[in-house]
Amino acid sequence: MQNLIEPHGAKTLKPLIITDINEKNSLIERSKKLKKIVVNSAAASNIVMLGAGYFTPLSGFMDKANSFSVAEKMMTSDDIFWPVPILNLAHDVQKIESGDEIALLDPNIDGNPVLAIQKVNSVEKLSEIEINNLAEKIFGTNDAEHPGVKNFLSLGNNLISGDIKVLNFSYFPKEFPDTFATAYEIREKITNSGWSKIVAFQTRNPMHRAHEELCKMALERLDADGVLIHMVLGKLKEGDIPGNIRNEAIRKMVELYFPENSAMITGFGFDMLYAGPREALLHATFRQNCGCSHLIIGRDHAGVGDYYGAFEAQEIFNKDIVKKSLKIKIFAADHTAYSKILNKVVMMRDVKDHKKEDFVLLSGTKVREMLSNGIDLPKEFARKEVADILMHFYQSKR
């Protein structure tokens, strides 16, 4: 009998989207008379994630006490495990004060339509020292060269806390109609598939041969029913490949190279943090909310540059608080590469007799360089059909 993993901190999902059309229309009408604030893209993506049930059991944006409790101990003030503060930071709070009901406007759609209504619990100013302390705890650094830190430090220092009611999912359903999915839609799809052991694969990149084989290894070694290929559809850092191109490339790869009914392709509306270990925990938490029993965590998961150790994002799952709080498990993967000796993709730790020259290894920078220059990627690195989609994209930018 199918028995899906329970959501985090709750018996059932708690999506904050308003589905009753009368209530929604009433809120939209009411929003016209409310104080308004155009939120930043990071807060907008938090709204989408809260609305879609991904951030169950949270009910809105955290206040200062909760933010620091989560940053320091990964626990909210009322003892709910959560790895990253969920914040609505602003530069200018105008005349917003505790007790107000305010309209949160979408920064990513022309005309800034209302995205959510927030009941303001508090408006608190953070000092520069406090903002830097939060960054240090979340990202493990407050180096402004880190893209996540750079963005975080640009968001403002006024913290608007309180519960929200979400009115829509911003641009994601329109821009990614076949891919964007809520946590409750994914649970329903999994239930309808008859799967009970599901491994999630997080990606912000097109999937090359190594990613493909990693998913297949996890399916086989865990004896899983299926893999949820779950891609980031929100804002990325400069140089990352846009969501629509990744979507096309991944769909082509699954269509041609995965067994039928073994992979589910979906996406979620979140802006990447590049917060390494802490973000890996967040990814696991909301994959549990999707109904996944496992999450693949590879080398430098959600990392950037040299800010994190190769396996720090795996090691953080050994902390007692994490083991006690999350039901989802990880599939800890090593670096994968194509073996010239075995003629297949392997985990490098599984082939101790190999030397560096026995592998086909390409950096992301090298791949982008080759594609930009019209040089075909080696077949050992990327499926031709995937490489062709990427080549067309890079050539069109010239």
The residues annotated with a catalytic role in the active site are 204-205
Sign of CA dihedral 243, 246, 249, 252: negative
Q: Answer for the pair 116, 166: CB distance below 8 angstroms, yes or no.
A: yes
Residue 17 C-beta-side C-alpha neighbours within 13 Å: 18
Q: Give whole-number Cα distances, 282 to 57, 75, 82, 95, 329, in Å.
A: 13, 13, 7, 33, 13
Q: Rounded distance, CA 196 to CA 190, Å?
A: 8
| 3-class state of residue 122 by DSSP | strand
Would you say 208 and 384 are in contact if contact means Cβ atoms under 8 Å apart? no
Say if residues 362 and 369 touch (Cβ distance below 8 Å): no
Strand 226-232 and strand 198-203: the pairing is parallel
Report the alpha-carbon distance of residue 9 to residue 255 in Å, rounded.
36
Q: Is the Cβ–Cβ distance between 279 and 42 less than 8 Å?
A: no
Taking the C-alpha atoms of residue 25 and residue 27, their distance in angstroms, rounded to an integer, is: 5
Give the pairing of strands 336-339 and 359-360. antiparallel
CA distance 218 to 215: 5
**Structure token digits, residue 149:** 């830190």
Distance CA 284, CA 293 (A): 9
H, E, C per residue of 85-116 = CCCCEECCCCCCCCCCEEEEECCCCCCCCEEE
